[in-house]
Amino acid sequence: MASVKIAIIGAGSAVFSMRLVNDLCKTKGLAGSLVSLMDIDQKRLEGVYDLARRYVEELGADLKFEKTMDLEVALKDADFVINTALVGGHWYLEKVREISQKHGYYRGIDAQEFNMVSDYYTISNFNQLKFFVDVARLMEKLCPKAWLLQTANPVFEGTNLIRRCSNIKVVGFCHGHYGVHEMVEALGLDIEKVDWQVAGFNHAIWLNRFVVEGKNGYELLDKWIEKNSHTWKPKTPFDLQLSPAAIDMYKFYGQLPIGDTPRNGSWKYNYNLEVKKKWYGEPWGGADSELGWKWYQDMLQATTNAIEYLQKNKFIKLLQLETYMKLAPEGIPEELKQQAKIFASPDKLSGEQHILFIDSLVNNIPRRFVINVPNEGYIPQLPDGVVVEVPAIVDAKGWHVEKIEPPLTDRVVKYYLMPRMMRMEMALDAIMNGDKDVLIEFLIRDPRTKSYEQAVAVIEEIMSLPGNEKMKEHYEKRIKL
């Protein structure tokens, strides 16, 4: 066993923070650790702190907590830092989208080909990306040997930016690879009998290996498509792993897009709501339509209401949440019901990779993860140094990336990953050099842009939003990061 200090930045996100607390309580090798919960929202911070302490007490785990609104306090002498903060919150994302749509950009200027996820902002998200860099540079002073587990979006731009602006050890995390499990379950297979591998960029990963008991699993997928794809219907806006869009991408690129990747196709699937419904299913048209995202926001509010109820009613035992959920008020999201089953179990883990990753490093327990790390020939068609999402075994010596075999198809690399990488490079060029012209050029290449003046106008109005004063100064004065 080894105790460490783990700082959770943006800990006011109660559901995610409690998933981490759940895993820590049930990972005996990290007993005695200190968890520093940090958020600038005092009410949310107090609520998570209270829930975490109640849960640890009920479970009889050996963990200590501190709460702080001071980033430096959280980072001081930390061994691991988990950054999950969303600077400006969802209010900022929606305000930028509102301005963008007024200027003719359906679903916002950050909704781009191969990057349609509704909170994965890359060119209007100065405050978020700058915060990533600020955290990393503070870590260089306060905990230079610590690992930064980058969780907040945009993970692809964020991990690349952090690596170029600091010397901190950074690794990106996402759970999109669990799309493999969804696909396998839909095909009626046992995941334990499947040899699978994914590779690409964050939110841009592809199933390069799919072997079932020594046989080509893609043949089984082809049979499912032929017999069952016409009956497919989404259970939620996020249920897209075998959507018409995913199947169409598979047929074109030669490998199946996994997790969030089906959301990140070309404009073919995303021109408007009716097109989205065709490719992502009725009634929502996927998670990133106006209907799908409204569903998600309603779910967030219902989750917040449920968390607040738990915080106020301290008589409710968190280890008996299953009982509580049976009596829960209408509107509690299904996700929270599933979470309740995890919390109510004495040993069930959340599925997030963070805590087991830490345990593998600290206690030298080899485990397989899918993580975002710098390319070192892992995907030879892509430049070294660019952060890729790949499977790796992690132990006390760090990560050991698997040989990506068979390789990604030429179409995946040339037609999908390279254009996505170019957009990342433009976003990083803009922010690192304070160059507004790059932001405008980014939009000039957008099919929704009808004139240079349109691109300039939307950028200027976003920069004039309250809270974007530093963004405006950064680009007007061409300040380098």
Distance separating alpha carbons of residues 114 and 417, to the nearest angstrom: 9
Question: Where is the binding site for substrate, in residues?
Answer: 153
Written as six digits, the tokens of 243 are: 């959507």
Rg of the chain in Å (alpha carbons): 22
Hey, is 324 helix, strand or coil? helix
Residues 6+ apart with CB under 8 A from 438: 426, 429, 430
Type of residue found at 60 = G
Got the DSSP string for 387-434?
A: EEEEEEEEETTEEEEPP--SPPPHHIIIIIIHHHHHHHHHHHHHHHHT
Q: What is the dihedral of CA 53, 56, 57, 61, to 10 degrees?
A: -140
CB 376 within 8 A of CB 145: no
Catalytic center residues:
175, 260
Residues 6+ apart with CB under 8 A from 289: 107, 237, 273, 276, 277, 280
Burial 164-178 (b: 16+ CB within 10 A, else e): ebbebbbbbbbebbe
Distance separating alpha carbons of residues 319 and 391, to the nearest angstrom: 33
For the chain, what's the residue count? 481
155, 114, 221: which is closest to 370 by C-alpha? 155
CB 116 within 8 A of CB 123: no
Distance separating alpha carbons of residues 169 and 152, to the nearest angstrom: 16
Distance separating alpha carbons of residues 46 and 339, to the nearest angstrom: 21
CB 260 within 8 A of CB 176: yes
Distance separating alpha carbons of residues 278 and 329, to the nearest angstrom: 34
Q: What are phi and psi of 379, to 5 degrees?
A: -115, 90
Question: Where is the binding site for Mn(2+), in residues?
Answer: 174, 203
DSSP label at residue 379: S
Residues 6+ apart with CB under 8 A from 310: 51, 316, 318, 324
Cα distance from N-terminal residue to C-terminal residue, the chain: 40
CB 157 within 8 A of CB 129: yes
Exposed/middle/buried for residue 40 (C-beta within 10 Å: 0-12, 13-18, 19+)? middle
